[in-house]
Amino acid sequence: MPEWISRQFGGVLQIKLTGYSPERFLNLCNARNIPIWDLLYQDDGYVFWMSLGGFRRVRPLVRKSQVKLRILKKEGIPFFLRRNRRRVGFGMGVLVCGLSLYVLSLFIWDIQIEGNRRYTDEMIVNYLQSAEISWGMLKSQVDCEALEASLRNDFPEVTWAAARVSGTRLLIAVKENEALSSIPQKDETPCHLVASRPGVIAELVVRQGKAQVKAGDQVEEGQVLVSGIIPILDDSETVKNVRYVHADADVTAFTQYPFSETFSKLYVAESETGRKKSGLFLQFGRWSSALLSPAKEGESWVYLTERKQARLFTSFYLPIYWGKIQGKEVQHYDAFYTKKEIEQVGEGIYQNFVKNLSEKGVQIIQNDVKILEGESVCKMEGTIWTKEPIAQIQQITDREETENKE
């Protein structure tokens, strides 16, 4: 609990110190660990603050140092309750409020997640709910160590997890593995490497197997690039036997992708009418309400809500939310793309296509994609020249093995 809060609960006094030896009094308080703060020299004495408990302990020190103490101010809950002791209803209200705050402090009212990139907040929150950990549960029911272990076990990319309860918040921090979590086992099954698509061989580096093509060769889809059948020759260069291996090589080729897309020149545009309205948003627990005039039939509005959560102290959050709602009226109408907008839309479609290729390891070399405008439709056509790995595994068939045995 913050120090200023504990002082308010215990009560504090502002004191005026005068007399024969005020410095001796201050030294005696320090020697007996009686806290004094905000000490100021004024006229013929000192003014300072001290706790109610400390004030009760200084009577012997006052006599010993021959000083006088005069109370200037009284602050804190003890004095507040004393002043209002005859107001039964008010006192009961304060008591009920205090008990309510205490009860609220026993629950989790906010969940904060940090460090997650691959797994979204929604995914982790849904996982917590499936584990019966959710907003509004008792803090005593949260087993942080078990939660940390389950996060590491059930999320493969999470290498480290920490969970702790701070005030009325459940704080979860995770660290995700940027590299592969496991090293794949080496496959030794005999196989060929064949072309996944037609192209011209650019580079060929064979680690195991027998190359069937070389750089500059034109290959077709399905053609064997590296054979997993290695002939064993005798001294006369005659095939004596064969050995079956798992063909392994890096094979890249120059390839082509035809590109063809269409999109409409007509789109639904949106513009603001200038009309605005605002309202308030209030949520308590799972109940929520918005104080905002409803939209009339035929009107279209876009809303932006600023949401805040109530809290008493740094980590003491309450299940109370509020905020402002700002609304702007918009109108929709049909419009045609301008020439510049057509180029922007076409560039977006092309970049999306290129992005999908790049994610597969395809390198873009050049393109001749053009946009052809019609009356209501735009057509994009052209060719994209690329460089990419084209080797894919093909198992050695039983027929091949039989032929080689014969």
**What is the reported pLDDT for 1?**
45
Domain 3-81 has CATH 3.30.70.260: yes
Assess contact for 284 and 246: CB atoms under 8 A. Answer: no
Structure confidence at residue 314 (pLDDT): 62
pLDDT for 133 beyond 80 = yes
- Answer whether 181's CB lies under 8 Å from 118's CB: no
Total residue length of the chain: 406
- Give the integer Cα–Cα distance in Å for 317 and 109: 6
Q: How many CB atoms lie within 10 A of CB 101?
A: 12
DSSP calls for 240-251: EEEEE-B-EEEE
Assigned CATH topology for domain 110-176: Ubiquitin-like (UB roll) (3.10.20)
> Does the pLDDT value for residue 183 go beyond 60?
no
The CA distances from residue 41 to 17, 25, 28, 44, 183, in Å, are 9, 14, 18, 8, 73
Q: Where are the domains of the chain?
A: 3-81, 110-176, 191-251+392-398, 259-266+337-389, 267-335
Whole-number percent of the chain with pLDDT over 70: 90
Beta-carbon contacts of 133 under 8 Å, excluding residues fewer than 6 positions away, are 142, 147, 170
* pLDDT higher than 70, residue 179: no
CA-to-CA dists, residue 23 to 28, 30, 249, 372, angstroms: 9, 11, 89, 94
Which residue type, as a one-letter code, is found at position 228? G
Structure tokens at 337: 């793309």
Q: If pLDDT is split at 50, 70 and 90, which confidence band does 185 have? A: low
Average the pLDDT over each of 155-169, 241-255, 292-306 and give the range with the smallest value: 292-306
Chain segment 213-226, per-residue pLDDT in tens = 999 999 999 999 99
The per-residue pLDDT for 85 is 67
Q: Measure the CA–CA gap between 355 and 347, rounded to whole angstroms.
A: 12
The amino acid at 61: L
pLDDT tens by residue, 140-155: 888 898 999 999 888 8
pTM beyond 0.75, yes or no? no
